[in-house]
Each structure stands twice: as C-alpha cells, then as structure tokens.
Amino acid sequence: MDFYYLPGSAPCRSVIMAAKAVGVELNKKLLNLQAGEQLKPEFVKINPQHTIPTLVDNGFALWESRAILVYLVEKYGKTDSLYPKCPKKRALINQRLYFDMGTLYQSFANYYYPQLFAKAPADPELFKKIETAFDFLNTFLEGQTYVAGDSLTVADIAILATVSTFDVAKFDISKYENVSKWYENAKKVTPGWDENWAGCLEFKKFFD
C-alpha cells in the first residue's frame, strides 16, 4: 500500500509504528511539503485536503493519522489487542486518541510551529497549555503502564509519536514522573520505535 509521508512528521511516524505492529509493509512515498508537492493535481485527486499522512490501500485512500491507525489494526491486526472490540476499552482508547489530536499534539503545533516556520516569538501562554496537557497525561498515567488499559494500544503509539517530538524539542518531560516512566517503557515495547526516533532526529534539525 502506498504511504505518502515525511519522516519528521509525528502523525506519519505513528502510522509507521502501527504498520510495523501489525506486520504490514508500506510503500513509502516522500512528499516535499516545502516544495508544494502536496498541491500537485495527482495528489489532490487522492486527498482533496492535501495533507500527510495519506494511505492508499488497493485504491482506498485515507488520511488523518489516527483514522489510519485504527484502519490498519481493524483490517490487518492478527488480534484486536491494539484496538480491542470491547466497547469500554475502545472508548477509552478513542478518548486518548482525541486527547492527543485536540490537546497534546495541538499544544505542540500551536507553540512550536509559529516559531519554527514563521519566525514568531515564543508565546508563554501557549507554553502553559503544553504544561497543562502534560499534567493531564501524567494524571491519566497514575498507576498505569499504558495510556489506555493494561496493554499497548494505538493510543500509546499515537501519543508516543507526539511525546518523542516534544523530546527532541527539548521540552522537559522529566518533570512528569508518570509520563517519564511510560515513555521509557513505550520506547522498549513499541514496534518501529527505532524508525520513529530516526524521524524525530530529522525533525530536530528545525531546532538546531
């Protein structure tokens, strides 16, 4: 299946880890956003929103990374452990995925992207929102090894991609004890971590 991506992108890296976890090979196609390749007619035809990551599986096109994570597990997972069929377990995973999308990753984008791509000054109020998001995550992880339930799920994979991006941005994760413990374990147990970290180091160049 074709996978349009950039290695530095956290949402793209989450899909790479999920694909590794379910044993699916991705035909990776680099898309140079700075050169405007996402606006080429042939790509807009695949994804009218012209965003990455975008997956094309035998003619079926899907974008939004968290939707792709769920699709990969539902279609290709040998078990349902990464996205269990139990409605309550699934609801908790969904909540964490939406938390990542709307709160945690969003706080990264709101604070860092204007500085990196528009040379804007740092906004201390936006930094406080990052700290609030990490406080929430730290609370979710009280007494827990994983972010949703008692085993690795797509929620861990999505949030690992995000937290590792904060790591290379030099955000001090160590202040959040539960998050730090979870992060160290997630690095060890998540398939595809090495490729995720290589992508993080690619993204780190924007900070150097």
* Catalytic sites, residue numbers: 9
| Angle between helix 154-168 and helix 177-189 axes, rounded to 10 deg | 110
CA distances (Å), 12 to each of 6, 17, 98, 164, 174, in order? 7, 9, 16, 13, 25
Report which of 155, 202, 163, 146 is spatially closest to residue 6, judged by C-alpha positions: 202
> Would you give the DSSP letter of residue 121?
P
Report which of 114, 104, 188 is spatially closest to residue 152, judged by C-alpha positions: 188
